[in-house]
Amino acid sequence: MRPLIEKSPSMTSSVDLSPDDSQRPLAIVSAPGSRGDVNPMVAIGRQLRNRGFDVVISLAEPYAGLAESAGLTPVVAIDEKRFGELLGSPEVWRPLSGLQIVLGGAASEYLVPHFELIQRLKRPGRTVLVSHPLDFASRIHRDLDPDTPLVDVVLSPMMIRDPNVPPRLSPWWFEPRKPPWLMRAGYWLGDHLLLDRYVGKSINNLRRSLSLPPVRRIMDRWWWSPDMILSLYPDWFGAVAPPSDGQWHPCGFPLDVNTFARPRDGKAFAVDASQSKRPIFFTPGTAHRHAKKFFQMAIDVCQTLGMPAILATSHSDQLPTPLPPTIRGVGYVPLDQVLPHCSAIVHHGGIGTTAHAIASACPQVVLPMAFDQFHNGQRVQQLGLGRTLAKASKHSLAAALSAILNESGLLQQCLAAAEKTLCRDGAEVAAEKIAECLGHRPSELAFNNSTNRSEG
C-alpha cells in the first residue's frame, strides 16, 4: 500500500490502494482535531498495520505527514487553511464557545467527507471503522450498514456520562454535581438546548439523504457504537462504561513512542546537566495559539521560585523575548524524552499530556481551559499526582508548584502510577480488540503482514 496524501474538501479523487490488497482487512480510521486527537488514532493505526491491515486515516492536513510516516494512508478531510481558522480564535479555549466551534465547525464539516470515504473504500466483510469521538459519519454508516463493524475509541473518561459520579465539565463553582436526578435533567437540557443544535442539523441532513430517520439527543446514547467501545485509559483512571449495548474494554494509555516526532537533527532531547535543579516543563498544548499570558506567568513564577524552565510551544511568537538565561524555549518535543528529566510539568490537562506525565512519574499542575481538561485535572488531583487550578494566578501557581515539589509522598504516588501505566501499550491492546471485532485471529494477521513485507 503506497501512502497518498489526498487534498480535497469533497474527497472526490481516489486513494491509491492496490487491487491485490482487496482481500486484506481494511481499517478506516477517523482523527479530526489537533495533535492530541491524532496521536492516539495514529498509534492504533500503526499497530493495526503491524497486524496485516491496510489502514486509511482521515484527518486535518497539518498531520498528514505524521500518519504517512507511520505507514498509514492519510486522507485530508480538513485543509490547513480551514483548520487554522477553526483553531485561530481564542474562543475555542473556553468551555461553551469551544464546544460550539468544535461540534458546529470541525465535526460538522468532517461529516460528509468522511462518510464518502467510507462508502468509496469499504471492502464488504473485511472492513472495520475505527471512530474518534467527533466522528459521527461512522456511526451513521453503522445504522446504514450493520454488517460493517464500528469500534468507538474513547480518549478521556469525561466523554462518558455518569449521573452518579459526573465528570467535571467546567471551572465554575456552581456546576451541579448531585443528586443524580438533577444531573440527568442537566444532560437532557444540555442536549436539547446546546449539543443537538451544534451538530444535529448536519447529522440529520445526511441521514435524511440516506432515508434514515432523524436522531435526537445525539451525544447521550446514539453516538455510542452497538459493537465495541475502547477506552484509551486504564480502568483506575476512569472505569465507567458507556451507556451502550456494545462491548466495552479499557485498554490503557496509548504510549507507543514510535508514533511521535523526533527533533530534526535526530538527537535525543537534552536537558542542561549543568543546572543544579531540574527544570519545570510548561506547555499549553500543541494547538494553542493564544498563550502569551501563560508563558509570561511561567517565567514570573519560575523566577520567584528560583527554578529553571522549559517553555514548549509550536508557535514561537507566543514566547516573550529575550528569555531569561535559565529558561529555554522549544518547539514540539517528545514528552517521553523530556519529562523524566523535569521536576514538574504545568499544562492544560489534555489527555495525551496527562498520560505522558503519569508514565514519566512527573508531578503535575493542571491549568484547564476547555473540553476534557477539567476532568483530567480533577483525576490528577484525586489520584495524588499533582494539583489542578481552575483559575491560575502567579501566586496560586507558585504555591501549587512549591507544594508538589516539596511534598514527600507525592513522588512515591507518581512512581506507583507510572509503574501501573507502563504495563502495556493501550494502542496495542486496542488493535488486538479491533482485529477480534472483525473476526480475525492475531496469528492469521501476523502471517498476512509477514507475507506482504516479504513480497514488497
- What is residue 233's DSSP assignment? S
Residue 261 is assigned to a structural domain of this protein: no
In this structure, what are the phi and psi dihedrals at residue 27, rounded to the nearest 5 degrees?
Answer: -110, 125
What distance in Å separates the CA atoms of residue 189 and residue 203, rounded to the nearest whole number? 19
Query: Comparing 15-24, 171-180, 277-286, 390-399, which segment has the lowest mean pLDDT?
Result: 15-24
Q: Domain for residue 243, yes or no? A: yes
355, 240: one domain: no
> Could you tell me if 14 and 105 lie in one domain?
yes
If asked whether residues 202 and 294 sit together in one domain, one would say: no
Q: What is the mean pLDDT of residues 402-420?
A: 91
The whole-angstrom separation of Cα 3 and Cα 64 is: 10
Q: Is 333 in the same domain as 384?
A: yes
pLDDT for position 77: 86
- Which of 172, 128, 130 has the alpha carbon at shortest distance from 155? 130
- Asked if 136 and 247 sit in the same domain, the reply is yes
Q: Which residues contact 351 (CB under 8 A, 6 or more apart)?
A: 36, 155, 156, 232, 233, 372, 376
Taking the model in full, what pTM does it have?
0.85
Mean pLDDT lowest for which of 12-21, 407-416, 426-435? 12-21
207 shares its domain with 226? yes
Residue 272 inside a domain? The answer is: no
Sign of torsion, CA 425 429 435 440?
positive
Q: Are residues 213 and 301 in the same domain?
A: no
- CB atoms closer than 10 angstroms to residue 142: 20
Which CA distances in Å does 446 have to 51, 427, 451?
5, 17, 9
Number of domains in the chain: 2
Q: Are residues 414 and 447 in the same domain?
A: no
Q: For 121-139, what is each residue's pLDDT tens digit?
A: 999 999 999 999 889 999 9
**How would residue 246 be classed by pLDDT, with cut points 50, 70 and 90?**
confident
pLDDT single digits (tens) 30-61: 998 788 889 999 999 999 999 999 999 999 88
Determine the 3-state secondary structure of 161 from DSSP: coil
Which structural domain range is residue 158 located in?
A: 6-254+425-455
Whether residue 129 lies inside any domain: the answer is yes
Provide the grid cell at 174. Answer: 456552581
| Domain assignment of residue 234, yes or no | yes
Q: Is residue 269 part of a domain?
A: no
Which residue has cell 514570573? Answer: 300
Query: What number is the average pLDDT over the span 338-350?
Result: 92
Distance CA 217, CA 82 (A): 28
For 422-443, what is the mean pLDDT?
Answer: 82
Euclidean distance between CA atoms 359 and 108, whole angstroms: 34
Residue 263 belongs to some domain of the structure: no
Q: What is the mean pLDDT of residues 77-88?
A: 76
For residues 73 and 196, membership in a common domain is answered with yes
The CATH number given to whatever domain includes residue 219 is: 3.40.50.2000
Residue 262 has pLDDT above 80, yes or no: no
Do 244 and 353 share a structural domain? no
Both 436 and 382 in one domain: the answer is no
Answer yes or no: is 132 within a domain.
yes
Closest by CA position to 240, among listed 140, 154, 115 = 154
Q: Each residue of 414-434: b (16+ CB within 10 Å) or e?
A: beebbeebeeebbbbbbbbbb
Q: What is the pLDDT of residue 264?
A: 30
Do 153 and 181 lie in one domain? The reply is yes
Strand partners, 131: 152
